[in-house]
Amino acid sequence: MEVVGRAETAVHSPALLDGEDVNDWSKEDEDSVEEATLPAAPIVVESERVDSPPLVPAQRYHEEVESTLQELQLEKNEVKLLGHEELQDPGEKEEEKKRHLNVVFIGHVDAGKSTTGGQLLLLSGQVDDRTIQKYEKEAKEKNRESWYMAYIMDTNEEERVKGKTVEVGRAHFETENTRFTILDAPGHKSYVPNMISGASQADVGVLVISARKGEFETGYEKGGQTREHVQLAKTLGVSKLVVVVNKMDEPTVNWAKERYDEIETKMIPFLKSSGYNAKKDVHFLPISGLVGINMASRVDKKVCSWWDGPCLFEVLDSIEIPLRDPKGPIRMPIIDKYKDMGTVLMGKIESGTIQEGDSLLVMPNKAHVKVLAIFCDEKKTRRAGPGENVRVKVTGVEEEDILSGFVLSSVVNPVNAVFEFNAQLQILELLDNAIFTAGYKAILHIHSIVEESEIVELIEEIDVKKKKDADPKKRKPKRKPLFVKNGAVVVCRVQVNNLICIENFADFPQLGRFTLRTEGKTIAVGKVVALPAPGNSTFA
């Protein structure tokens, strides 16, 4: 079978180009690594990543969490079943009552993402005391004493030696109402493509910010990943952000309200300018990931007299994300694949419900496949709906004929496969203030696709101040610009050399939002606004 299209990493992207200002981006410095040389998308399976030890540990916390959670009442519609109920046995129904949320940990390098993620697993009973003692010993031997908690998430030798996450760590825990998959993204700027891969799978982001003197500033300044991660997360479809102001225990902070307020005050305008609604989409709270304070239970007044809000578990468990239509056409961008008595496809279902026995299409190579089995986390299930991260075992296609970036799709109303599309782009910051014009080349990241692309035509510059003008269909065409500069919003035509499976942003936001990166830096975010006619891969 001929294979078309190619991709190395996994991603997603979209931009809410609603005309709001986007803050400056800064330049990478010398030690940044070329994107092309980075390891391929690091979607790591749970069994490889998490030392899965017997439960037992923080029983005390467990009980506190349970009682807190019992008090929390989720909206009934958040616990929606996925249809096909006639096929369900009672056990399965019970299982599906718990909603599932993918949470990505993002933020500047060393902010404490892995430490906080590890602590969350420890507090929810996923890691035992013996394992922690082992990590403490190992971290000491590596002269990285304070990193032992991060070792829960950072499982490979390179990560442990350097104290930096490289691959996206993945782990699971449950509260009463929710099954969580945590995705621990790397903060170092060299691994932004890996972060993109993690964020593209998540609905909720935990943005970890270090309150330690100087650390918040480095992360927030131009070129810091606090900024880049927020903008990418929004673009990639992370609809809610929990901003944890971390390291509150640190001697330079010591739970000072002034420091917390300073960070919140500076972050809010930036979050707004990145497209988040500060009231509805964002929740701030202070924590210590290392010591585990204000995570499973609310911080003791003796430690922090001024905090009256909830703890991290409460916030996560009560977060509401927009529901997606389980009855829509099936779209599952493929992030990875392997052979296991059939071909196993890994990815997140963005639309529709996949069932055992379904006949589907792998696009763009039009391979007809049959679904043999579906796995959610490690559990086999007969169906899975939108938002689920799954492995789907199929027959009808060889593993080597599939690349990440391909899309598992319904046969009727399949995903579009195209060489070109029109996009509305927001230029963030061009390298060395370069000019953006026809002929500009950049790496396109759209859902799990990573592909070289070229801007072949600028169609129209949009005046961002006139918000009503933002819908290109409602405007009279203006003169085509020859070039645009930083900060511009422009409609342009983008071409790629291989067929890619994408959708209009208006139809399937998750398959219609993207980022453009050059030399390891995000230079623009965008959304697909027009595609060739159905069945065509180019505009006539």
Write out the E strands in 367-488: 367-376, 379-381, 383-384, 389-395, 407-409, 416-427, 436-437, 441-446, 449-462, 483-484
Binders of Mg ion among residues 114 to 133 (CB under 5 A) are: 114
Binders of Mg ion among residues 137 to 196 (CB under 5 A) are: 165
Which one among 8, 96, 110, 336 touches ligand GTP, defined by CB under 6 A? 110
Residue 112's binding partner out of ligand GTP, Mg ion, none, with CB under 5 to 8 Å set by partner kind: ligand GTP
Which backbone phi and psi does 98 adopt, to 5 degrees?
-75, 130
Select 249 or 503, whichever has its Cβ closest to ligand GTP.
Answer: 249
Asked if 187 touches ligand GTP (CB under 6 A), the answer is yes
Site string for ligand GTP, 269-308 (x = CB under 6 A): -------------------xxx------------------
Asked if 422 touches ligand GTP (CB under 6 A), the answer is no
CB 142 to ligand GTP: min, Å: 12
Measuring CA to CA, which residue among 395, 443, 339, 390 is closest to residue 45? 390
The amino acid occupying position 267 is: M
CA end-to-end span of the chain: 27
CB 180 to Mg ion: min, Å: 18
Cis peptide before 534 (omega within 30 of 0): no
Tokens of 84: 């096909």
Asked if 288 touches Mg ion (CB under 5 A), the answer is no
Asked if 165 touches ligand GTP (CB under 6 A), the answer is yes
Which backbone phi and psi does 199 adopt, to 5 degrees?
-65, -30
DSSP code, position 25? -
Which one among 14, 186, 237, 275 touches ligand GTP, defined by CB under 6 A? 186
The amino acid occupying position 160 is: R
Question: 86 to each of 82, 89, 92, 96, 211, how far by Cα in Å?
Answer: 11, 8, 12, 14, 52
Select 15 or 206, whichever has its Cβ closest to Mg ion.
Answer: 206
Q: At what angle do helices 113-123 and 59-71 cross, to 10 degrees?
A: 90
Which one among 61, 147, 260, 505 touches ligand GTP, defined by CB under 6 A? 147
CB 114 to ligand GTP: min, Å: 3
Asked if 163 touches ligand GTP (CB under 6 A), the answer is yes
Measuring CA to CA, which residue among 104, 197, 237 is closest to residue 405? 197
Measuring CA to CA, which residue among 336, 370, 337, 335 is closest to residue 356? 370
Q: Which stretch binds Mg ion (CB under 5 A): 74-82, 112-120, 348-356, 523-531?
A: 112-120
Write out the E strands in 230-315: 240-246, 282-286
Select 148 or 514, whichever has its Cβ closest to ligand GTP.
Answer: 148
Asked if 331 touches ligand GTP (CB under 6 A), the answer is no
For ligand GTP, the binding residues (CB under 6 A) are 109-115, 146-147, 150, 163-165, 186-188, 208, 246-247, 249-250, 288-290
For Mg ion, the binding residues (CB under 5 A) are 113-114, 165
